[in-house]
């Protein structure tokens, strides 16, 4: 079996906070040397593509700006394709605003908004929740860039965008439309954005309920790394087939070191079915 493309998560997969995980830069270069194209797809919309490029470059990982896509960028693309340029009240930081503006969307106050777009916001406060609630009760649609309950960091798990989205959903009795993983929306956007066509794609990430679930929904190869949010004990408790990864590795270095063995095993399983 040959894998053409890897869609790789960032938080908990490549790094924790500002610390690379166990020689992940070397692991990425090793995978590239085997002829695999690596793209980075993250639910974390607190940085722009340019910010992530700079962060990865600072860790010794070379990457082109077009090989990075965030849930904020995917949200901006989705809304433009579906509705054209829209008026948005954002619950998020400068990165979200920049990604939305890049696609021509207008950032407005709550009473002018057609959409409320929510991502992880380190400066969330009551006034933002109030304005988002007012906008939705005034007719705006609620869009979640992602609903991750937590985000892995150097100091453990932190509350994620899902905690903020849930507060707004509860206040408005509304369910957000989800763009990010595990929604197929972001992977369908990624597939067209990177022009995958007939490529064999592997999704690599640290969360069963986002990375693995989304990849399985697309019938792509799914690889779970145990370096982030999911630990080995979580696998013992997970019985849903749709969240079962095809490959499990300790981290990216383990994936790179075992690459040939993994492809051989996947090929044998494919032939058996």
Interhelix angle 71-83/184-193, rounded to 10 degrees, is: 80
Beta pairing partners, 151: 158
Interhelix angle 126-137/161-172, rounded to 10 degrees, is: 50
Beta pairing partners, 91: 118
Query: pLDDT by residue for the chain (273 residues), tens digit each?
Result: 889 999 999 999 999 989 999 999 999 999 999 999 999 999 999 999 999 999 999 999 999 999 999 999 999 999 999 999 999 999 999 999 999 999 999 999 999 999 999 999 999 999 999 999 999 999 999 999 999 998 878 888 899 999 999 999 999 999 999 999 999 999 999 999 999 988 899 999 999 999 999 999 999 999 999 998 888 888 776 656 788 999 999 999 999 999 999 999 988 765 555
**pLDDT recorded at residue 267:** 84
Give every CB contact of residue 100 below 8 A, 6+ residues apart in sequence: 72, 75, 76, 79, 88, 90, 107, 117
β-pairing verdict for 201-205 and 221-225: parallel
CB 184 within 8 A of CB 217: yes
| E strand residue ranges, 57-182 | 68-70, 87-91, 106-107, 115-118, 141-144, 150-153, 156-159, 177-178
In angstroms, the CA 226 to CA 248 distance is 8
**pLDDT recorded at residue 238:** 60
CB 190 within 8 A of CB 7: yes
Positive or negative, the Cα torsion across 219, 225, 226, 228? Answer: negative
Torsion angles phi and psi, residue 37, rounded to 5 = -85, 130
Write down the pTM of the prediction. Answer: 0.92
Peptide linkage before 182 cis (omega within 30 of 0) = yes
Strand order through the sheet with 247-249:
68-70, 37-42, 5-8, 201-205, 221-225, 247-249
Task: Give the pLDDT confidence of 125-148 residue by residue, as tens digits.
Answer: 999 999 999 999 999 999 999 999
């Amino acid at each position: 079996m040959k894998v053409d493309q890897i869609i790789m998560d960032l938080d908990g997969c490549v790094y924790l906070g500002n610390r690379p995980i166990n020689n992940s830069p070397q692991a990425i270069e090793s995978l590239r040397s085997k002829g695999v194209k690596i793209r980075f797809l993250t639910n974390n919309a607190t940085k722009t593509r340019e910010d992530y490029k700079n962060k990865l470059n600072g860790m010794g990982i070379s990457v082109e700006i077009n090989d990075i896509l965030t849930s904020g960028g995917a949200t901006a693309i989705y809304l433009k394709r579906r509705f054209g340029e829209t008026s948005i009240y954002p619950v998020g930081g400068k990165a979200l605003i920049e990604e939305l503006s890049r696609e021509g969307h207008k950032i407005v106050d709550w009473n002018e908004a057609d959409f409320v777009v929510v991502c992880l916001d380190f400066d969330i406060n009551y006034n933002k929740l109030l304005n988002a609630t007012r906008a939705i009760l005034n007719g705006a649609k609620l869009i979640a860039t992602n609903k991750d309950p937590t985000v892995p960091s150097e100091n453990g798990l932190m509350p994620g965008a899902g905690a903020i989205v849930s507060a707004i959903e509860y206040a408005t009795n509304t369910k957000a439309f989800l763009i990010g993983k595990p929604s197929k929306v972001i992977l369908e956007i990624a597939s067209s954005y990177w022009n995958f066509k007939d490529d064999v794609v592997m999704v690599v990430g640290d969360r069963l309920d986002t990375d693995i679930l989304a990849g399985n929904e697309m019938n792509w190869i799914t690889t779970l790394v145990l370096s982030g949010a999911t630990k080995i004990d979580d696998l013992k408790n997970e019985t849903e087939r749709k969240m079962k990864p095809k490959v499990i590795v300790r981290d990216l270095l383990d994936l790179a070191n075992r690459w040939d063995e993994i492809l051989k095993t996947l090929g044998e399983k494919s032939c058996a079915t």
